[in-house]
Amino acid sequence: MTSRIENPFSIRFVLPEQRAMYLQMKEDDKLVPMLVIEQDELESFHYIIRDSACEDYAITVKWWKAVKGERGTICSMWGTVKWIDQNGRRIKLINDADSQWISIDSITCVIS
């Protein structure tokens, strides 16, 4: 078996547009549909979120973020819940470096 350096005819040329399309396809393969969460899990998430807001301790929240239609990515952030917006159905998570408003309906996991 010869290496590519030894055999110059084995080198394959790829146009920048082809490479960009290939990389985009690889990224699209990583997208996932919105997860369906059971009611008892949701209640557990809500309890941990309320407790974090009242007791001022850090939690990790994972949520689904739409990227292309019905497919998206799972985002993650740790911090303390500083605000629960009941009308907007969202929470404000704050840590040393960032703050983020997260929709309650898109939360997929809460870890205390």
pTM given for the model: 0.74
Q: What is the pLDDT of residue 10?
A: 56
Place of tokens 């159905």: 89
Cβ–Cβ under 8 Å, residues 68 and 106: no
The answer to whether position 76 is within a domain reads yes
Does residue 27 fall inside a structural domain?
A: no
The CATH number for 58's domain is 2.30.30.100
Q: Structure tokens of 107?
A: 């939360």
Flag whether 69 is in a domain: yes
Give me the sign of the Cα torsion angle 94, 99, 101, 106: negative
Domain that holds residue 104: 37-111
17: DSSP letter: H
The answer to whether position 67 is within a domain reads yes
Total tally of structural domains belonging to the chain: 1
For position 108, what pLDDT does the model report? 95
Give, in order, the Cα–Cα distances in Å from 29 to each of 10, 19, 50, 72, 84.
28, 15, 35, 10, 34
Q: Is 82 within the bounds of a domain? A: yes
Asked if the model's pLDDT at residue 5 lies above 60, the reply is no
Within a domain: residue 7? Answer: no
**Stretch 18-41: mean pLDDT:** 86
